[in-house]
Amino acid sequence: MPYDTEPPRQHFSPVKTVLTPAVTALVVLAVACSQDYAEGDAILLPDAEGVFTPAVIGTAAVPPSESGQVALLADERVACVFDFYDTRVRCMDAEGAAVGVFGRTGEGPGEFGNSDSPNSLHLMRGEDGTLGVYDSRLFRFTVFEPSGSYVAEARMPFLQPRRSFGTVLTGTVWRGWIADSLMVRFDVNVASGEVVRQEGSPSGPWGVECGEGEGIDGIPDRAEGWVFEACGDRLIFVDNTGNATVLSVPTELPDERDVARREEEMWIGRATLGPAEMARALQISSDGTYQSLVDQTLESYRSRPKPYSLGGGHRLVDAANRYWIATQRDTHEWSYLDVYENAEYAGSVRVTDRLRGFDVFGSTLVVLVERQVGPDDADGVPDRALDWYDLGHLGW
């Protein structure tokens, strides 16, 4: 299959390196199309580095959770998150009011399978204003009203579902189910659970070879193509004819705040270690020939660029077939979502605080974030919140 590539762009300024003619075109397009807006409407243009900073139009506090799942419902005012510790869904509106809090552990209607994994439940928007919950432990898809009223359910095969559903739910499974494919797409009838389409993705590798511990996975777009993340530093856009465009995307080395966060996560993961195991983890040889396990891990982390993406769950294709991906750029005071259109970088959207999940629908972006810990936070634990942003006048 034919493919195009761009030269690698690693280790420089992550914003400046992704500037392309498409960014300049966005400014021209926004001005040229301004007559389509009502008189007096403000059109938000990108800054000199192609970054949009939209306005916050609503916020709602949500409880701590290990899950980054978030679904923006069809009215663009209500968003739902998964409360991992209490095994329930919490739906909030942009004014901060609770619309519905529902669910519990169990196997009955409206209940969720017991799990220690925050990724076992997936939230998605229904075209009719409902909320869908796919439970990978019970292999079940349940439809709720935002208030929590139970609507219907169906048995489903194992899959990673897309962000929205109508009469059909689309999802993917990683390689291996169909020969010569990287991923498999499933379309499943929501009412019956019947698989109505099963299709393998293109196989690649499009000249891309990943190192140890790196891989390729992706999602289908809305034009019968696919978008793959590869090796932590590339995106591969494959159209419906099999033609591929490989983009080298910018990465950056961890800063010291990233390292401190990584060390904190390591200690949390070792909370159950006994004294002997803890001593071995911290042991350093008297002659200096080896370091402690902690020091070795942090040294390795410092020396390798962070992957471009926050992870497989932090990407989507919107209704206009634009590809959105949450990046690992900064993630302290700000977080950045990069947007691609027709296999070209279109610009970035900057939001406040540390992004943990997001969804886009219509003219609205909703972001699940962890706030910066301030001097008044006695517990030292970041607060979590949903922030709504107006995308109506970004000039796209």
pLDDT for residue 27 is more than 60: no
Total-model pTM:
0.83
Contacts of 381 (CB under 8 A, 6+ apart): 64, 373
pLDDT at 39: 52
Overall average pLDDT of the 263-279 stretch = 67
Residues 43 and 28: beta-carbon distance below 8 Å: no
When mean pLDDT is compared across 28-37, 94-103, 312-321, 330-339, the lowest value belongs to 28-37
Q: Is 110 exposed, middle or buried (0-12, 13-18, 19+ CB in 10 A)?
A: middle
pLDDT for residue 214 is more than 80: no
Percent residues over pLDDT 70 in the chain: 79
**Alpha carbon distance 315, 207 (integer Å):** 23
The pLDDT mean for the chain works out to 83
Residue ranges of the alpha helices (H) in 94-192?
A: none
Higher pLDDT, 319 or 215: 319
Residues 2 and 244: beta-carbon distance below 8 Å: yes
Overall average pLDDT of the 343-370 stretch = 95
Cis geometry, peptide bond prior to residue 205 (ω within 30 degrees of 0):
yes
Contacts of 18 (CB under 8 A, 6+ apart): 9, 50, 249, 250, 338, 345, 348
Percent residues over pLDDT 90 in the chain: 55
- State the DSSP H helix or E strand holding residue 261, giving kind and residue range, or none if neither: helix 256-269
Residues 207 and 230: beta-carbon distance below 8 Å: no
pLDDT at 210: 83
When mean pLDDT is compared across 26-30, 42-46, 197-201, 378-382, the lowest value belongs to 26-30
**Alpha carbon distance 91, 299 (integer Å):** 41
> pLDDT tens for residues 64-115?
998 999 999 999 999 999 998 899 999 999 999 999 999 999 999 999 987 7
**Alpha carbon distance 102, 149 (integer Å):** 8
pLDDT at 342: 94
pLDDT at 278: 62
> pLDDT tens for residues 286-309?
666 656 778 888 888 888 899 899
Contacts of 38 (CB under 8 A, 6+ apart): none
pLDDT for residue 326 is more than 80: yes
At position 126, the amino acid (one-letter code) is G
pLDDT at 289: 62
Overall average pLDDT of the 330-356 stretch = 93
Confidence of residue 276 (pLDDT cuts 50, 70, 90): low
Secondary structure class of 382 (helix, strand, coil):
coil
Overall average pLDDT of the 44-66 stretch = 89
pLDDT at 388: 98
pLDDT at 9: 34
Structural domains of the chain sorted by starting position, each given as residue range(s) with its CATH number in brackets: 65-170+190-198 (2.120.10.30), 254-304 (no CATH)
